[in-house]
Structure 1
Amino acid sequence: MEFEEFEAQVESFRTERAGKQYPPGFQLFDSWTATDADLAEVEAELGTHLPSKYKRFMRVFGGGVFSFVELLPAKSPDGRSEDLLSVNTGIYAAPNFVAVAPVGTGDWWGFVSENGVCREQVSFLDHEEGSVQFDSADFYEFALTKGLRIGR
């Protein structure tokens, strides 16, 4: 899927939900966007190149809430929240895996990294077993199916 098609799906989702009532404090989207410099810093610190579709998503939409999924921002907007570096360099960091979204059970969605390059596919990391399973062909598919629940 190309970015323009993905962006049209997001806009359609937003239009459908415009004006609907949600519980107090509930947000459909955050917008903790990343700059090219933020993403370059993350790549340098992690020693891997992030997928191009993921980087474009982060520059346009950013981390935080993306409807039904929480995405790690490249850099914490408040200096206290988890971000790509704190999660992927901490004591729970998984080798050869870049976590980008918590599942909510201690497991993560993210990218397998081989020889300094992340795969385009989004995978699921089981924190107890350490096993990694394919989830989505690319980040746009992941964001649509998990975040917007389109095409599940």
Structure 2
Amino acid sequence: MEFEEFETHLAAARTKRAALSSPEDFEAFEERAASEEDLRAAERALHARLPEDYREFMKRHGGGMFLFLDLLPISGSDGQEDDLLKVNLREFADVDFVAVAPVGTGDWWGFSVIDGHCVDQVSFWDHEDGRVQFEADDFLGFLARAGLRVGM
């Protein structure tokens, strides 16, 4: 999916969400954007180049709640919160996988790493057996489907 199409889906989801009532402190889109330096530092620590669509999304919109999906921010706002580095250095240090979003069951969505580069496809990592299964062709398509529920 290209960014132009994704942004169209995102704008429609925001418009629809704005018409709904929500608790006062609920944010459907947190948008904790990352800088280019934040991304480079994360890549150095993870020893993996992140996919371009993911990098661009994190600079434009960032981590946190993304409607129906919780994306790890590149760096947490406090010492307690999980972020991309904390989760991956703690749980995936010896695995060729970069987790970017919890599934909520102990499993993760993220990218397989091959020769120091994350693949563009999003995969599902099963916490019970460590199997990695294909989930989506690209990050933006994954966000549209899992986060915005486009096509569901």
Into which bin does the TM-score normalised by the smaller protein fall? Answer: over 0.9
- The residue aligned with 2:64 is 64
TM-aligned CA deviation for residue 78 of structure 1: 2.0
The answer to whether 1:40 aligns with 2:43 is no
TM-aligned CA deviation for residue 77 of structure 1: 1.6
Counterpart residue identity of residue 111, structure 1: F
TM-aligned CA deviation for residue 135 of structure 1: 0.3
TM-aligned CA deviation for residue 79 of structure 1: 2.8
State how far apart, in whole Å, the 1-side matches of 2:19 and 2:124 are.
Answer: 34
State how far apart, in whole Å, the 2-side matches of 1:78 and 1:3 are.
Answer: 30
Counterpart residue identity of residue 95, structure 1: V
State how far apart, in whole Å, the 2-side matches of 1:51 and 1:116 are.
Answer: 11
Computed over aligned residues only, the root mean square deviation of the Cα atoms, in angstroms, reads 1.1
String of CA shifts for 1:64-105, please: whole Å, max 9, x gaps.
Answer: 000000000001122321111100111x22500000000011
Counterpart residue identity of residue 17, structure 1: R
State how far apart, in whole Å, the 2-side matches of 1:13 and 1:103 are.
Answer: 21
State how far apart, in whole Å, the 2-side matches of 1:77 and 1:146 are.
Answer: 24
Counterpart residue identity of residue 104, structure 1: G
TM-aligned CA deviation for residue 24 of structure 1: 4.2
State how far apart, in whole Å, the 1-side matches of 2:53 and 2:23 are.
Answer: 32
**Mean CA deviation greater in 4-13 or 14-23:** 14-23
Unaligned stretches of 5+ residues in structure 2: none
The answer to whether 1:100 aligns with 2:100 is yes
**Mean CA deviation greater in 73-82 or 117-126:** 73-82
**Mean CA deviation greater in 125-134 or 75-84:** 75-84
The answer to whether 1:128 aligns with 2:94 is no
- With structure 2 as the length reference, what TM-score do the two structures score? 0.95
- The residue aligned with 1:138 is 138
State how far apart, in whole Å, the 1-side matches of 2:51 and 2:103 are.
Answer: 20
List 4+ stretches of structure 1 deviating above 6 A.
none
Overall identity of the aligned pairs, in %: 49
- Helix, strand or coil at the partner of 2:34: coil
TM-aligned CA deviation for residue 17 of structure 1: 2.0
TM-aligned CA deviation for residue 5 of structure 1: 1.1
Aligned residues: 151
Unaligned stretches of 5+ residues in structure 1: none
- The residue aligned with 2:28 is 28
State how far apart, in whole Å, the 2-side matches of 1:98 and 1:58 are.
Answer: 15
